[in-house]
């Protein structure tokens, strides 16, 4: 394995990332984030996501006891967008109307429990909610893609600490899924094999970047990871979308989500921030034999609970760059407990 600067290729996006292992020991005198408190009440009367509380426009939440789903009060996409004509006729300046539906999924009524601290049946209920809403949105003729994602932590732009995720659906295929569709389609057409299944087989053989494995899923720090402790979660079966999973696979998905996020929290003994999302096959009614259901975890923390990775300078102008290698990151995560959360360990 390389011990000096090199670059690695991401076959999903067909882009490169620079890896600079020798920089991992450089001193840090830069930005230090304020450490957030892990102490939250089970119920917050001022939280607009807690049961029975009022949201924007005077809407009152029901006294929900499981998951709670509602249309986002401040949606980035709107379902009834007028088809406006772009008056700019220059070929280098294109714009077009874009419509969609955005929903919020509260994990549970508990204001203080994130994914790693939820019981497995509760996490399964969250997966069921993601699946149900994905199916409902994908069935609409004006929807081409459904994105399930969670932003965890204020450092990731999360505006409310009550554990929740979002589902954005829209009328076109967005940039990142479009890249992955092209790559997986080309690979399948050339080999009659699924790109991500072949990749995971090799990761299981090498073992250096494995984080967690169970019967139906494998989690790795990908060979081409950009973020310090990035994780790619890949299904072993034929599922291309969440609704393709059977009951045993849903149980397995809940198990590995909990194990990944416990390890994250245990790494710096903090409620570990990240952006996580599932990449499902497009909502076009086609089978998509090339597509493998998978999820990406993009956490920003680098050295501690207060030092994060910045994408600036070279990263913005040239290509992504990382210091610690994916192999070192995976080893650090593997060495942590994935069954006992640091808060419950006392």
The residues that are catalytic are 164
**At 270, phi and psi to the nearest 5?**
-150, 160
Residues sharing a CB contact under 8 Å with residue 1, sequence separation 6 or more, in sequence order: 208, 325, 327
The full 3-state SS of 24-80, as one line of letters, equals CCCCCCCCCCCCCCCCCCCCCCCCCCCCCCECHHHCECCCCCCCEEEECCCCCCCCC
Say how far apart CA 90 and CA 196 lie, in whole Å: 40
Helix (H) and strand (E) counts in the chain? 6, 14
- With residues binned 3-state (H G I as helix, E B as strand, rest as coil), the percentages for the chain, rounded to 5, are 30, 20, 50
Strand partners, 148: 167, 278
CA distances from 83 to 16, 54, 79, 98, 203 (A): 37, 34, 11, 8, 47
Give CA–CA dist 185/298, Å, rounded.
Answer: 24
DSSP result, 233-286: EEESSS-SSGGG--HHHHHHHHHHHHHHHHHHHHHHTS---EEEEEEPPPSSS-
C-alpha R_g of the chain: 21
**CA dihedral of 21, 26, 28, 31, whole degrees rounded to 10:** -40
Residue 109, number of CB atoms within 10 A of its CB: 20
In angstroms, how far is CA 324 from the centroid of its own chain?
21
């Amino acid at each position: 394995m390389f011990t000096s600067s090199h670059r690695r290729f991401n076959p999903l996006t067909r882009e490169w990332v620079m890896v600079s292992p020798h920089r991992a020991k450089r001193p840090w005198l830069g930005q230090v984030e304020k450490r957030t408190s892990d102490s939250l009440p089970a119920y917050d009367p001022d939280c607009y996501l807690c049961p029975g509380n009022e949201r924007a426009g005077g809407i009152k939440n029901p006294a929900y006891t499981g998951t709670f789903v509602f249309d986002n009060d401040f949606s980035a996409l709107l379902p009834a967008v007028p088809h406006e004509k772009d008056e700019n006729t220059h070929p280098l300046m294109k714009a077009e109307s874009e419509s969609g539906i955005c929903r919020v999924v509260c994990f549970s009524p508990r204001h203080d429990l994130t994914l790693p601290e939820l019981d497995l049946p509760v996490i399964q209920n969250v997966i069921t909610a993601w699946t149900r809403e994905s199916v409902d949105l994908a069935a609409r003729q004006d929807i081409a893609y459904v994105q399930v994602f969670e932003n965890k932590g204020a450092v990731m732009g999360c505006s409310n600490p009550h554990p929740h995720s979002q589902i954005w659906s829209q009328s076109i295929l967005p940039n990142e899924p479009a890249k992955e569709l092209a790559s997986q389609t080309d690979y399948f057409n050339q080999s009659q094999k699924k790109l991500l299944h072949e990749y995971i087989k090799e990761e299981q053989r090498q073992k250096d970047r494995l984080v967690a494995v169970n019967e139906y899923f494998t989690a790795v720090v990908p060979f081409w990871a950009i973020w310090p402790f990035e994780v790619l979660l890949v299904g072993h079966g034929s599922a291309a979308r969440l609704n393709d999973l059977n009951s045993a696979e849903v149980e397995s998905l809940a198990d590995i989500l909990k194990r990944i996020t416990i390890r994250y929290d245990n790494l710096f003994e903090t409620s570990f921030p990240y952006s996580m999302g599932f990449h499902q096959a497009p909502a076009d009614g086609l089978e998509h034999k090339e597509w493998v259901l998978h999820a990406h975890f993009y956490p920003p923390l680098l050295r501690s609970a207060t030092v994060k990775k910045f994408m600036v300078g070279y990263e913005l102008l040239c290509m992504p760059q990382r210091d610690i290698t994916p192999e070192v990151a995976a080893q650090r995560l593997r060495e942590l407990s994935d069954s006992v959360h640091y808060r419950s360990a006392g």
